[in-house]
Amino acid sequence: MDGCRAGWLAVRLAAAAGGRLTLDYALHPRFAPILEQHPDAEAIAVDMPIGLHESGRARMRPCDHIARQRLGKRACCVFIPPTRAMLCAESYAPLRALGLSVQAYHLIPRIRELDALLTPDLQTRVWESHPELSFLAMTGAPIASQKRTAEGQAVRMDALRRVLGALGAVATGVGGGAEAAAGCHASVRAGVAGAHDGATAGGVRRDRSSDRGAGRIGRGIGAKSCRT
């Protein structure tokens, strides 16, 4: 899943008749109904921060450091998330002085929605995700070309086709759109069993070391996730 102006884009990989898998996608205005519609989902990978520092300057979490190390020259793809105190900001100016990028600022509405909703129990299946870590899990190395270039798109589409083909997935929806949107979920299906404490496996990032108190949570990467 990923946030967008209209809400959340969700790509679903599900078992179908005959042992095959189906791949579809839908746009949802809110995150909570997605959880209600899919209570049995094995994994929900979200390209949004989960597990935030409470206050102070914007700074990386342990899982951000690990993700950047894994991505090497593509480390710039992992941005520094806001603190929980920043989620109430009404303008960018005061946050800029605290080291938050404008990119991260524009994600605050979605981060705030997710942060208010998640609980420790939900963190067993809702993980932070990052597309570039997903593709690293699929290809064995970071993809050097940027996603907006023709070469970068071709390499990523080829990785998705190979992984989805190996899983026997059948895309439904509008043409190949579901396939193009499936970066996080394809890798989660392939690597869901391998995500553990502070490491990245199958694209999933988890970190229990956020400074948030017990009882509420925060964020996760391609699949990346921070748990409190």
What six digits make up the tokens of 190?
A: 């392939």
Cα separation, 228 vs 47, in Å, equals 17
In a domain, 225, yes or no: no
Those residues with Cβ within 8 angstroms of residue 157's Cβ, 6 or more apart along the chain or in another chain: 179, 180
In a domain, 224, yes or no: no
Map residue 51 onto helix, strand or coil: coil
How many structural domains are present in the chain? 1
In a domain, 40, yes or no: yes
- Compare 141 and 197 and report the one with higher pLDDT: 141
The answer on pLDDT for 177 being more than 70 is no
In a domain, 227, yes or no: no
In a domain, 139, yes or no: yes
pTM score: 0.76
In a domain, 110, yes or no: yes
**Each residue of 36-88: pLDDT tens digit?**
999 989 899 999 999 999 999 999 999 999 999 999 999 999 999 999 999 99
The residue among 123, 132, 124, 89 whose CA lies nearest residue 107 is 89
Task: Give the side-chain half-sphere CA count within 13 A for 85.
Answer: 12
In a domain, 145, yes or no: yes
Per-residue model confidence (pLDDT) at position 23: 84
> Taking the CA atoms of the chain, what radius of gyration do you get in angstroms?
17
Name the band, by pLDDT with cuts 50, 70 and 90, for residue 171.
Answer: low
Lowest mean pLDDT among 69-83, 126-140, 152-166, 188-202: 188-202
Cα separation, 19 vs 7, in Å, equals 32
Map residue 25 onto helix, strand or coil: strand
Range of the domain at 80: 2-205
What six digits make up the tokens of 137?
A: 């899990």
In a domain, 64, yes or no: yes
Name the band, by pLDDT with cuts 50, 70 and 90, for residue 169.
Answer: low
**Each residue of 149-159: pLDDT tens digit?**
999 999 999 99
Per-residue model confidence (pLDDT) at position 13: 86
